[in-house]
Structure 1
Amino acid sequence: LARALGRHGVEVALATMGAPLSTQQRQEVAAVPGLALYESHYRLEWMEDPWEDVYRAGDWLLELEEELAPDVIHLNSYVHGALPWRAPVMVVGHSCVLSWWQAVKGEPAPPSWDRYRREVQAGLQAADLVLAPTRSMLAALDEYYGPLETTGVVPNGIARSEENSSPQPKERMVLTAGRVWDEAKNVSALEAVAPRLHWPVYVAGEDHHPDGGRACPQNVNYLGYLPRKSLRQWYRRAAIYALPARYEPFGLSALEAATEGCALVLGDIPSLREVWQDAALYVPPNDNAALQRALSGLMANPSRRAMLAARAQARARYFSPERMATGYLVAYCRLITGEGLPTVKVLGRSVPQRA
């Protein structure tokens, strides 16, 4: 987003929290013109016992605003929306614990999350504008923390790889990628069906939970965490990308896979239906037999596999960085002036999201 905004003359100050940036992430930041990095390691609002860090982070963010004098505050988490900002505030909801819990656990979040609920609601209610990458995610925010007055949807976007102008032959494999420890990704379903498939299943992603503990994938070929460039090569190789998710507010990994020509098998949830329409196969997240049938059917049917891959790749072109940047530019300018496209500076807070 910062790179695409930079092409419109927008300067971005990126304030990060949570885990330290990787070497690759630092290199990517350094390569974006007009992007300044301000890094911290405060705990995030969805982590265990985060509140002291959350409040200290708020003080730090207000100091940054005083120093930088941005035109817009763009937050990718919720609680700090309630700070006494001088500039207009946009909060973008990429996931939340309450909707995650209902989707993954099948029941409301327990009382131990009541403080989170109150703090998130206060942040959302104080924001001048609330956005989400899908209508489904926006509806969830309104259900759990609303009613929200001024809202909108700006889908995510990614750049097409320069390498896929000459695509390589696909290999007989199934790939999935994401945080392996997150129950929402439903890697366990792939673990369950993998022994009954004719093709190998590969899993890429972080296995260590930020609050401790580790996931240990079984019956699959576990690749571990892969840098972006390495993961892109796996997307290019895999004939099928499977994401039988229970909860996925947008599904960036599916977009990355579709861009590289994978046929998609996805969890049948509203957000993924909204994004992919008829460009994927859908399976109920808790129906392992349906997942096995869908994967086996595609493995046995090259023409259908190619058709779905072509549909997904065509659909992926809609979700471009330029379209995303235009959506955010319109939102920024409405916050500032209500009209026009002035040159703006944005203080963006970026944190790892739960899903």
Structure 2
Amino acid sequence: MTADAVGGVWQYALDLADGLRAHQVEVTLAVLGPAPSEDQQAMAEAVGVKLILTGLPLDWTATRRSEVEEAARIAARIAAQAAPDLIHLNSPALAGGADFPAPVVAVCHSCVATWWQAVRSGPLPDEFTWRTELVRQGYRAADMLIAPTLAFARSTADIYELERGPAVVRNGRRGGLVCEPASSEPAAFTAGRLWDDGKNIATIDRAAARLSIPVLAAGPLDGPNGARVHVEHVRTLGRLGDEEIRTHLSKRPIFVSAARYEPFGLAVLEAAQAGCALVLSDIPTFRELWDGVAAFVPPDDDEALANAVEHFASRSELRVQQGLAARERAKSYSVEAMSAGILAAYRSLLQSKIRKSSLEEAAA
């Protein structure tokens, strides 16, 4: 399995590896991009994953097409040395750049083309065009595609003109124990890659200027691709480890996300698992996952966002009620359910390959 340590794919890969271990599936994790931090490597060790730190560039941080193509060839050689039954690519662009030694499942977590459609307008810039073509080749070369939501599967199929859309297996997250009482003083909280314009921290920052309660934001302001964001009214906490995030969420703040682009949203799931009331941008993926248990506002409407947060902040019983509803919904998005769905996809692919091979042998 490939992964990176920059965003939610890291948690996804480790939770999935942990869930698959219960089914006697062993995972070797080839890490592209920046090396995992010490606490991230400790997480991998705790779930029994063998790490291979490749130092290879990610497709969205590489400066040239040739870098991604070379990364694909090296990743394929690493895979051959591990001799797996199956390849799980969390960077689908790699699939089209090399011949992998086993059937390939590619997971559509995100891509620059769908990001651009949601966050920007007009034609793709040159640096996105070649990346999109690499992803297109990867999608067509993979033996199976998986997406975390139906909304994102449809968007992916539309943009890449796929004959068959990705299968949907919703993400899961291992919930932490809530061991602290909810804070008597309401606060708002958000978490993620703050530097990513798709996360839209700018709207949350403007809303924070209108609010009577503090707004805390966990996550880096600088990205590995050179992106940087500046905020004035949000209290930034920097990058926090899993346990630090859980400590903040255990106090049940009002969790906010104004994302314009979010194929799934693991941070929202973590907040829901902790029993936080949710105020989310009204985008298709969030509606699909959280309709009926969250307050929704237009992504760029800071006034509506502030009003929704204040509504929860001034009504403690409603805040608790909405948090419990979100927690109940979050039970549907468990690591066990995700692992079962992925394992079923693995088995389906492997069985189809066996049938195809048997038919070819019979024909010969």
TM-score normalised according to structure 1 size: 0.91
1:306 is matched with 320
1:168 is matched with 181
1:68 is matched with 82
Q: Deviations over 1:172-198 (max 9, x none)?
A: 100001111111111111111212211
5+ long unaligned stretches in structure 2:
1-15, 355-364
1:158 is matched with 173
2:338 is matched with 324
2:28 is matched with 13
User: Are residues 50 and 263 of structure 1, via their aligned partners in 2, closer, same or farther at CA, if it must alter by over 3 Å?
Assistant: farther
User: Are residues 124 and 231 of structure 1, via their aligned partners in 2, closer, same or farther at CA, if it must alter by over 3 Å?
Assistant: same
Q: Deviations over 1:127-176 (max 9, x none)?
A: 11110000111111111112243630111101221x32x45123410000
2: distance between equivalents of 1:108 and 1:290?
30
More displaced, 148-157 or 74-83?
148-157
1:94 is matched with 109
Q: Shift in Å at residue 329 of structure 1?
A: 0.5
* Residue identity matched to 2:144: L
2:6 is matched with none
2:216 is matched with 202
More displaced, 137-146 or 19-28?
137-146
2:298 paired with 1:284: yes
* Residue identity matched to 1:118: E
2:362 is matched with none
* Count of residue pairs brought into register by the alignment: 337
Contact 1:94 1:249 in 2 (8 A): yes
* Residue identity matched to 2:56: Y
* Residue identity matched to 2:34: A
1: distance between equivalents of 2:123 and 2:305?
26
Contact 2:293 2:325 in 1 (8 A): yes
2: distance between equivalents of 1:112 and 1:230?
36
Superposed CA RMSD in Å reads 1.7
2: distance between equivalents of 1:45 and 1:261?
36
Tell me: higher relative CO, structure 1 or 2? Use CA pairs within 8 A at least 6 residues apart: 1
5+ long unaligned stretches in structure 1:
341-355
2:280 pairs, out of 242, 261, 266, with 266
2:240 paired with 1:240: no
Q: Shift in Å at residue 111 of structure 1?
A: 4.0
Contact 1:175 1:238 in 2 (8 A): no
2: distance between equivalents of 1:110 and 1:334?
38
More displaced, 41-50 or 185-194?
41-50
1: distance between equivalents of 2:39 and 2:148?
25
2:200 paired with 1:186: yes
1:46 pairs, out of 60, 63, 69, with 60
1: distance between equivalents of 2:165 and 2:309?
42
Hey, which bits of structure 1, 4+ residues long, moved more than 6 A? none
2:311 is matched with 297
2:231 paired with 1:225: no
Q: SS where residue 11 of structure 1 aligns?
A: coil
2: distance between equivalents of 1:95 and 1:244?
17
1: distance between equivalents of 2:31 and 2:298?
35
1:81 is matched with 95
2:19 is matched with 4
Q: SS where residue 246 of structure 2 aligns?
A: helix
Contact 2:210 2:303 in 1 (8 A): no
More displaced, 102-111 or 7-16?
102-111
1:249 is matched with 263
* Residue identity matched to 1:267: S
1: distance between equivalents of 2:316 and 2:81?
58
* Residue identity matched to 1:224: G
2:141 is matched with 126
Contact 1:132 1:155 in 2 (8 A): yes
- Residues 95-114 of structure 1: matches in 2 within 5 Å? 95-114=110-129
Q: Deviations over 1:313-343 (max 9, x none)?
A: 1011111111000001101111111499xxx
TM-score normalised according to structure 2 size: 0.89
2: distance between equivalents of 1:254 and 1:182?
16
